[in-house]
């Protein structure tokens, strides 16, 4: 890796590491929050569905930050977006910390939900800067440098997981103390970006209008975004479905008019749909994985396994250049292999019984999910340069919104459904006495009553030999429900593998995968 040689500006290295630190702050906050979900459930009596919704806000807010930021960043400049992101990060801490012990569950839920949402807006705004910036700085090797940029995400998860294990499991400090530590990398990225000159994207350098940048996205691409926005308006904001879809329809019409009714590129549409699956299976699962493995083994071991998996990903993301150039795998081939590993890995994790076995299973899963996100961004940037920051920002927004509206709530619903089914089968009376008062629902699936979160937390808090027969039945049913949830989750990467295989065959038919550049731009000159 030679940053000075590969970058098109003298400060390419500093900007790369500033972006790295920005995404690190997001990863730290995400990792800590995943470890304190159980605290929130026990403190406020939330159901799995409610915890999934709060966790999901950490993704849906991201969508607004990255899409709006991606649309305007070439017009207002990256520096102003960094300032906005910094302000949102600080504000999110104040809102989240408004949830206090003894507060009514409904009030606490609102503080935690909207605090997490604002945190996600900040993260999305930062990625609206970092992704196109790194893609522009390193046009000859985008897959490699975007993977390095996003190595900061698992690095943040490692730090966040260690904070949870050390301050939470060992020192038993407040969840507020733990979560507040994400403000340290926040201050650092603010200083690293301060006063730096940033280059323009290929599309901005060519002087393309916003309408021209949106043409490859078109009606097809906007359809994916508007569907997810309709889910957000309906599920998160509580608007009637008809109103939610009407607003999304108006937005779709606006894109159609902006692009002069361009249908968009079918390949970009497929990438958008597939990235929605990436968000669901990678980030949606990440939000629950330490909770699930902690249920199957122990909370402390769940946190350590999360740290191990994230560290594994961090190291692997520095190997993208070796895999692409030395092993001769195109970005699409890398994605195909990853999807197969992720599918197998999730099934293996569903069967774990020991810490060592869990490490082996999670290693397979980690190999699978490592390259998904940055490599998908690289493919979109390589193939659709005239979209500037728009396409990869929309893609990131789709992934995060899918994680928030489909992945995280879907897994929360699956946990509630499968655990309740297992408890009913084991002891119908125990289920009747301990089912949650709040129902869980997801998309078109039937409503269910999961196990009461506070009652489950009380049963888990007892030493195994101190649990009553009912306690043991509840904990065992919850564990079996977690295993079934992971198996159901594995169908997503299985579907992705089929899509990537078809894309691989398509590129082979047209002469192979290669990056496309706009004539006369710095990227085109660097590519020669």
Distance, in Å, from the CA atom of 286 to the CA atom of 292, rounded to the nearest integer, reads 10
The whole-angstrom distance between residue 258's C-alpha and the CA centroid of its chain comes to 29
Which tokens in the block code for residue 130? 């970092």
Give me the residues of the chain with pLDDT under 50, please: 524, 528
Distance, in Å, from the CA atom of 68 to the CA atom of 8, rounded to the nearest integer, reads 26
State the CB neighbour count (10 A cutoff) for residue 140: 16
**What pLDDT is attached to residue 134?**
84
**What pLDDT is attached to residue 467?**
82
For domain 12-217+265-527, give the fold: Growth Hormone; Chain: A; (1.20.1250)
The whole-angstrom distance between residue 43's C-alpha and the CA centroid of its chain comes to 26
**What pLDDT is attached to residue 478?**
83
**What pLDDT is attached to residue 277?**
92
Beta-bridge partner residues of 435: 451
Of the candidates 182, 203, 207, 240, the residue with the CA atom closest to the CA atom of residue 22: 182
Q: Per residue in 154-202, pLDDT tens? A: 888 788 878 877 876 677 777 888 888 888 888 888 888 877 777 766 6
Beta-bridge partner residues of 440: 448
Distance, in Å, from the CA atom of 137 to the CA atom of 201, rounded to the nearest integer, reads 9
Distance, in Å, from the CA atom of 438 to the CA atom of 290, rounded to the nearest integer, reads 24
Distance, in Å, from the CA atom of 364 to the CA atom of 392, rounded to the nearest integer, reads 27
Q: Per residue in 255-287, pLDDT tens? A: 899 888 998 889 999 999 999 999 888 776 766
**C-alpha dist (Å) from residue 174 to 29, 43, 340:** 15, 11, 40
Of the candidates 500, 395, 379, 399, the residue with the CA atom closest to the CA atom of residue 135: 379
**What pLDDT is attached to residue 247?**
93
**What pLDDT is attached to residue 393?**
83
Distance, in Å, from the CA atom of 492 to the CA atom of 490, rounded to the nearest integer, reads 5
Q: What are phi and psi of 497, to 5 degrees?
A: -60, -40
The ranges assigned to domains in the chain are 12-217+265-527
- What is the CB-side half-sphere exposure of residue 189 using CA atoms within 13 A? 33
**C-alpha dist (Å) from residue 151 to 45, 82, 350, 373, 391:** 35, 20, 26, 11, 21
Contact predicate 427/250, CB 8 Å: no
Which residue has 């299976």 as its token pair?
A: 281
**What pLDDT is attached to residue 126?**
86
Distance, in Å, from the CA atom of 181 to the CA atom of 162, rounded to the nearest integer, reads 12
Residues with Cβ within 8 Å of residue 145, at least 6 apart in sequence: 6, 16, 134, 137, 138
Is the pTM of the predicted complex or chain greater than 0.85? no
- What is the CB-side half-sphere exposure of residue 133 using CA atoms within 13 A? 30
Which tokens in the block code for residue 277? 């699956």
**C-alpha dist (Å) from residue 52 to 248, 294, 326, 371, 491:** 24, 16, 41, 25, 20
**What pLDDT is attached to residue 496?**
95
Distance, in Å, from the CA atom of 176 to the CA atom of 169, rounded to the nearest integer, reads 14
């Amino acid at each position: 890796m030679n940053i000075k040689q590969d970058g098109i500006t003298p400060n390419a290295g500093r900007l790369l590491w500033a972006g790295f630190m920005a995404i690190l702050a997001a990863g730290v906050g995400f990792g800590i929050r995943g470890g304190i979900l159980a605290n929130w459930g026990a403190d406020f009596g939330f159901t799995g569905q409610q915890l999934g919704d709060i966790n999901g806000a950490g993704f849906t807010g991201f969508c607004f930050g990255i899409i709006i930021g991606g649309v305007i960043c070439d017009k207002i400049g990256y520096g102003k977006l960094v300032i906005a992101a910094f302000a949102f990060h600080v504000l999110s801490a104040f809102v989240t910390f408004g949830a206090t012990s003894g507060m009514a569950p409904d009030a606490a839920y609102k503080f935690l939900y909207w605090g997490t949402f604002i945190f996600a807006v900040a993260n999305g705004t930062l990625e609206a800067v970092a992704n196109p910036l790194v893609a522009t700085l390193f046009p000859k090797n985008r897959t490699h440098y975007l993977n390095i940029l996003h190595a900061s995400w698992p690095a943040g998860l490692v730090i966040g997981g260690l904070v949870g294990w050390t301050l939470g499991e060992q020192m038993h400090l407040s969840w507020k103390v733990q979560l507040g530590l994400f403000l340290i990398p926040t201050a650092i990225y603010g200083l690293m970006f301060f006063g730096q000159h940033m280059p323009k994207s290929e599309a901005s350098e060519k002087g393309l209008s916003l309408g021209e940048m949106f043409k490859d996205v078109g009606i097809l691409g906007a359809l994916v975004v508007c569907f997810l926005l309709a889910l957000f308006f309906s599920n998160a904001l509580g608007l009637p479905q008809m109103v939610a879809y009407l607003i999304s329809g108006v937005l779709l019409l606006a894109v159609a008019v902006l692009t002069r009714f361009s249908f968009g590129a079918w390949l970009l549409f497929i990438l958008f749909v597939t990235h929605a699956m990436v968000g669901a299976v990678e980030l949606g699962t990440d939000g629950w994985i330490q909770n699930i493995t902690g249920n199957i083994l122990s909370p402390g071991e769940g946190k350590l396994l999360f740290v191990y998996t994230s560290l594994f990903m961090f190291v692997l993301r520095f190997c993208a250049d070796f895999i692409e150039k030395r092993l001769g795998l195109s970005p699409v081939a890398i994605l195909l292999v990853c999807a197969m590993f992720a599918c197998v890995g999730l099934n293996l994790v569903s069967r774990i019984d020991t810490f060592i076995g869990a490490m082996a299973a999670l290693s397979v899963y980690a190999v699978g999910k490592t390259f998904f996100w940055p490599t998908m961004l690289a493919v979109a940037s390589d193939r659709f340069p005239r979209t500037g920051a728009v396409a990869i920002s929309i893609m990131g927004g789709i992934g995060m919104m899918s994680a928030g509206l489909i992945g995280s709530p879907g897994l929360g619903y699956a946990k509630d459904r499968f655990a309740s089914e297992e408890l009913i089968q084991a002891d119908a009376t125990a289920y009747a006495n301990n089912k949650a008062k709040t129902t869980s629902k997801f998309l078109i699936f039937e409503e269910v009553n999961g196990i009461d979160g506070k009652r489950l937390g009380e049963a888990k808090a007892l030493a195994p030999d101190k649990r009553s027969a009912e306690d043991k039945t509840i904990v065992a049913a919850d564990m079996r429900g977690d295993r079934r949830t992971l198996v159901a989750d594995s169908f997503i990467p299985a579907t992705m593998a089929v899509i990537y295989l078809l894309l691989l065959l398509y590129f082979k038919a047209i002469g192979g995968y290669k990056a496309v550049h706009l004539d006369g731009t710095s990227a085109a000159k660097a590519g020669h």
